[in-house]
Amino acid sequence: MRGDATEQLTMLTAVTPDTLVPVDHPIRAIRVIVDRALQTLSPTFDAMYDRIGRPSIPPEHLLKAMLLQSFYSIRSERQLCERLRYDLLFKWFLGLNITDDVFDHSTFSKNRDRLLQHEVAAQFFAAVREEARRRRLLSSDHFTVDGTLLDAWASMKSVQPRDGGEPPAGGGKNPSVDFHGQRRTNETHASTTDPDARLARKGDGQTTRLAYAGHVLMENRTGLVVDILITGAMGRAEREAALAMLDRQRRSGRITLGADKGYDTADFIADCRARDVTPHVAQHTTNRRSRIDARVTRHPGYAVSQRVRKRVEEIFGWVKTVGGGRKLRYIGGAKNQLWAHMTGAAFNLVRMARLERALAPA
* Tally of CB atoms within 10 A around 180: 5
The two beta strands, 159-161 and 142-151, are: unpaired
Least confident of 78-92, 128-142, 158-172: 158-172
Note the pLDDT of residue 355.
93
Note the pLDDT of residue 162.
85
Close Cβ partners of 193 (under 8 Å, ≥ 6 residues apart)? 153, 154, 155, 158, 331
Find the mean pLDDT for residues 6-25.
Answer: 80
pLDDT higher than 70, residue 7:
yes
Report angle CA 75, 80, 85 to the nearest 5 degrees. Answer: 150
The top-scoring range by mean pLDDT among 14-23, 98-107, 166-175, 317-326 is 317-326
Q: 177 forms bridges with which residues in the sheet?
A: none
Close Cβ partners of 25 (under 8 Å, ≥ 6 residues apart)? 89
Least confident of 25-29, 109-113, 266-270, 357-361: 357-361
pLDDT higher than 80, residue 328:
yes
Note the pLDDT of residue 172.
64
The residue type at 350: V
Which of 106, 107, 85 is CA-nearest to residue 96?
A: 85
**Percentage of residues in the chain having pLDDT higher than 70:** 93
Least confident of 48-57, 85-94, 150-159, 295-304: 48-57
Query: How high does pLDDT run on average in the chain?
Result: 90
**Percentage of residues in the chain having pLDDT higher than 90:** 67
pLDDT tens sequence across 223-257: 999 999 999 998 889 999 999 999 998 887 899 99
pLDDT tens sequence across 43-62: 999 999 888 888 888 999 99
Q: Half-sphere exposure (CA, 13 Å, Cβ side) for 83?
A: 18
Find the mean pLDDT for residues 73-94.
Answer: 94
Contact (CB, 8 A) for 218 and 229: no
Which of 120, 333, 302, 314 is CA-nearest to residue 233?
A: 333
Which of 119, 122, 67 is CA-nearest to residue 346?
A: 67
Least confident of 205-209, 280-284, 327-331: 205-209
Domains along the chain with CATH numbers: 17-118 (no CATH), 139-152+211-333 (3.30.420.10)
pLDDT higher than 70, residue 136:
yes
Least confident of 67-76, 119-128, 152-161, 239-248: 152-161
Q: What is the pTM of this model?
A: 0.91
pLDDT higher than 80, residue 287:
yes
Note the pLDDT of residue 340.
97
pLDDT tens sequence across 148-201: 999 999 988 888 888 876 665 655 666 666 666 678 888 888 999 999 999 998
